[in-house]
Structure 1
Amino acid sequence: MTPAIFLMGPTASGKTASAIALVEAGLPVELISVDSALVFRDMIVGTAKPDAGELARAPHHLIDIISPEQSYSAAQFRNDALALMADISARGKVPVLVGGTMMYYNALQYGLHDLPQADAALRLQIEADAVDIGWPGMHTRLATLDPVTAARLAPNDAQRIGRALEICILAGKPMSELLAAPTAEPLPYTLHKLALAPNDRAWLHARIAQRFDLMLEGGLLAEVRALQHKYTLSLDLPSMRCVGYRQAWEHLAGEYDAATLRDKGIAATRQLAKRQLTWLRGMDDVETLDCQRADLADAVTTRIADWVRG
């Protein structure tokens, strides 16, 4: 079968630079972004989106495809990615899917699950309980019902904790168990999965802090102001729930000062990286490269070249 490659890793692990190096090395590949933030137009600084020069040298599919006012589901990603992969393969190239939105990879490989529909009355009860014991307390409750799902969610991730609890109660079984069951025919590709992960978590934390500082210096707050001016946005939208954007929005609303913005932005990004690494540890057939190595892009290119050339 035709090969397809997943190039995965936590935020700030060097995925974008490694993917661009594949194209610049002349490998017969095309890149498909697997990132729930890069789909939004005009969100550049806070998403660490490849710049115009990088995209000119190494085009990525599924970047800048919707407005920040819109939503983009895992189902939409799966449909778009499958169509792109078929087109890329038909032209004799190999699709390389690069990014860190692990739920998208899962949806692509295994399909989507028939989860219970939202129950308004139950959700109100869950939210009322959260008022009493806080979302960390609800996270602890989820851990008793579904420890696998709880392990990959931050204790204050109200939206996802609430939905996971709702599913557990309505289905009578853990959401992770429902999600583990394949729902689609196997992909018609020979899948190769490469993860970029640090041997030293402290190294990744330092990279995350450095990158968030660069985002602040590069105009993250000005970008959020411009988005608020151009679009009709709220914190309920997926675009503004992205790491960094929520914290910038709350700072601009006067909820906390610049130092707290930095602390909260870095902490949220670290939590995101932790969830991504948890997903990766639970995936099958993943080969890992240490993203701390100085020759990372060359090492990725060498490994993927082997897969591309068979």
Structure 2
Amino acid sequence: MALVVAEAFEGTVINADSMQVYRDLSLLTAKPSATDMAQVPHRLYSIFDATEKCSAARWLSLARTAVAEAHQAGRLPIVVGGTGLYLEVLQHGLAPVPEIPVAVQAETRALMAAIGPAAFHTRLAMRDPAMAARLHPLDTQRLQRAWEVIAATGYSLSDWWQMKTGNLYARFCSLLLMPARPVLHASCDGRFWHMVAAGGVVTEVADLLARNLPPGCPILKAMGVAALANYIRGRLTLEEAIVAGQTITRRYAKRQCTWFRHRLKDALTVPDRYFADHPSTIEILSFIHHFLLASKR
């Protein structure tokens, strides 16, 4: 869809996928192909090494620059990707939370490992009831983040959210691919199976593991890495690894659907899989055309 829109409106495709910013795992993270990238300008793909961390703040700074450069070139910025946090900060800004000391991060991880997420959530509720009420008891990453922030700053992350800055002052035209659940699940399963069957994905993960990266590197959280790593290490058969990869992909897609359904209420929704010459293409292009006309008034 991004290519169709970019070609129709002389656009620049700007990546908003937190895994596609890394140079590793091009196949597993389903980056645009070299052919796709040759059709229209693409930005913020494969810009970081696996050892680096692309925080939301760092991405926001780069995205603002990419959007400005697109405008200067007379092109339409088209931000594409499924990392909701990136899209959120671009539209609404980022809480200016100070850098969390490494020692606090280590202590938080150790506490989570020692008592488990359920007990950790209970402790967070005593220290920061506002954030505990927002978070699922098994959402370890966000639980730890909430704990780190209040431990390091003395203020709840919910308080910091009230001070958001840095958003892009612009109007947004949002398009949302939201297939029916059975179609989405079948697509997730087929996508992962075809990736493995086509070859190259297992080698990508093996090459990444050979680098012995620190456990905290974000690229190691890419969907399918853990499952294929277990296959490479002899803990799963390839068939078992594929099933595990498909399962985690479906779960992630479900969370994405929930997030986008609540955050992008004004988006034009495409209720099935998009493909070249999709019946809704004319509707999509017309939607964008009218948006652009209205923006010039």
The correspondence of residues 255-266 of structure 1 with structure 2, limited to 5 A, is 255-266=235-246
The correspondence of residues 77-92 of structure 1 with structure 2, limited to 5 A, is 77-92=59-74
Report the alpha carbon displacement of residue 276 of structure 1 after superposing the two structures with TM: 2.1
- Using the size of structure 2 for normalisation, the TM-score is 0.81
Give the match for residue 101 of structure 1.
Answer: 83
* 8 A contact 1:243–1:265 mirrored in 2: yes
Q: Distance in 2 between matches of 1:64 and 1:46?
A: 13
Is 1:306–2:290 an aligned residue pair? yes
* 8 A contact 1:193–1:285 mirrored in 2: no
Give the match for residue 13 of structure 1.
Answer: none
Is 1:19–2:10 an aligned residue pair? no
Is 1:191–2:191 an aligned residue pair? no
2:16 aligned residue (19, 31, 34):
34
Moved >6 Å (runs of 4+):
none
Amino acid at match of 1:166: E
Q: Distance in 1 between matches of 2:107 and 2:140?
A: 14
Q: Distance in 1 between matches of 2:62 and 2:38?
A: 21
Q: Distance in 2 between matches of 1:202 and 1:140?
A: 36
Identity among equivalent positions (%) equals 29
1:178-221: CA deviation from partner (whole Å, max 9, x where unpaired): 3354324x5332222222223x2232112111111111112321
Report the alpha carbon displacement of residue 232 of structure 1 after superposing the two structures with TM: 5.0
- Using the size of structure 1 for normalisation, the TM-score is 0.78
Amino acid at match of 1:19: A
Give the match for residue 233 of structure 1.
Answer: 213
* 8 A contact 1:208–1:269 mirrored in 2: yes
Residue 257 to residue 65, structure 1, CA distance change in 2 (3 Å): same
Report the alpha carbon displacement of residue 145 of structure 1 after superposing the two structures with TM: 4.7
Give the match for residue 251 of structure 1.
Answer: 231
Give the match for residue 46 of structure 2.
Answer: 64
* 8 A contact 2:6–2:78 mirrored in 1: no
Residue 124 to residue 79, structure 1, CA distance change in 2 (3 Å): closer
Structure with higher RCO (Cα < 8 A, 6+ apart): 1
Q: Which runs of 5+ in 2 are unaligned?
A: none
1:6-44: CA deviation from partner (whole Å, max 9, x where unpaired): xxxxxxxxxxxx1011133x3132111111111111421
Amino acid at match of 1:96: I
* 8 A contact 1:146–1:168 mirrored in 2: no
After superposing the two structures, state which structure 1 stretch, 270-279 or 204-213, moved more: 270-279
Residue 139 to residue 40, structure 1, CA distance change in 2 (3 Å): same
Q: Which runs of 5+ in 1 are unaligned?
A: 1-17
Residue 22 to residue 278, structure 1, CA distance change in 2 (3 Å): same
Is 1:218–2:198 an aligned residue pair? yes
Report the alpha carbon displacement of residue 166 of structure 1 after superposing the two structures with TM: 3.0
Q: Distance in 1 between matches of 2:56 and 2:171?
A: 22
Q: Distance in 2 between matches of 1:78 and 1:286?
A: 22
Amino acid at match of 1:286: D
Residue 40 to residue 131, structure 1, CA distance change in 2 (3 Å): closer
Q: Distance in 2 between matches of 1:121 and 1:71?
A: 18
Q: Distance in 2 between matches of 1:138 and 1:201?
A: 32
Residue 236 to residue 295, structure 1, CA distance change in 2 (3 Å): same
Q: Distance in 2 between matches of 1:177 and 1:52?
A: 44
The count of aligned residue pairs is 286
Q: Distance in 2 between matches of 1:167 and 1:159?
A: 12
1:150 aligned residue (135, 146, 153):
135
